[in-house]
Amino acid sequence: MKRTAARLADGRELLYYDLRDDTVRDTVDRRPLAPVTTTSEIRHDPLLGDSVAIASHRQARTYHPPAGDCPLCPTRDGRPTEIPASDYDVVVFENRFPSFAGDSGRCEVVCFTPDHDASFADLDPEHAALVLAAWTDRTAELSALPAVRQVFCFENRGQEIGVTLGHPHGQIYAYPFVTPRTERVLANAAAHRRRTGRNLFDDTLAAERADGSRTVLDGAHWTAHVPHAAHWPYEVHLHPRRRVPDLLALDDAARAEFPGLYLELLRRLDRIFGPGEPPTPYVSAWHQAPTHHPHRSEFGLHLEVFTIRRAPGKLKFLAGSESGMNVFINDVPPEAAARRLREVASE
Instruction: Please tell me which residue in 167, 169, 192, 221 is annotated as part of the active site.
Output: 169
> DSSP alpha helices (H): ranges in the chain?
125-143, 180-196, 200-211, 252-269, 325, 334-343
**Mutual angle of helices 252-269 and 334-343, in 10-degree steps:** 90
Instruction: Measure the CA–CA gap between 281 and 179, rounded to whole angstroms.
Output: 24
| Residue 169 falls in the annotated catalytic set | yes
Altogether, the residues listed in the chain come to a count of 347
Provide the total of helices (H) and of strands (E) in the chain, helices listed first. 6, 15
Pairing of strands 282-287, 150-157: antiparallel
Q: What is the dihedral of CA 248, 254, 257, 262, to 10 degrees?
A: -60
Instruction: Measure the CA–CA gap between 337 and 216, rounded to whole angstroms.
Output: 9
Instruction: Measure the CA–CA gap between 9 and 35, rounded to whole angstroms.
Output: 8
Instruction: Measure the CA–CA gap between 129 and 144, rounded to whole angstroms.
Output: 23
Cα 82 off chain centre by? 21
What single string gives the DSSP state of each residue in 141-167? Answer: HHHTSTT--EEEEEEEESGGGT-S--S
- Going by C-alpha positions, the residue among 204, 184, 92 that lies closest to residue 140 is 92
Could you give the residue numbers annotated as active site? 169
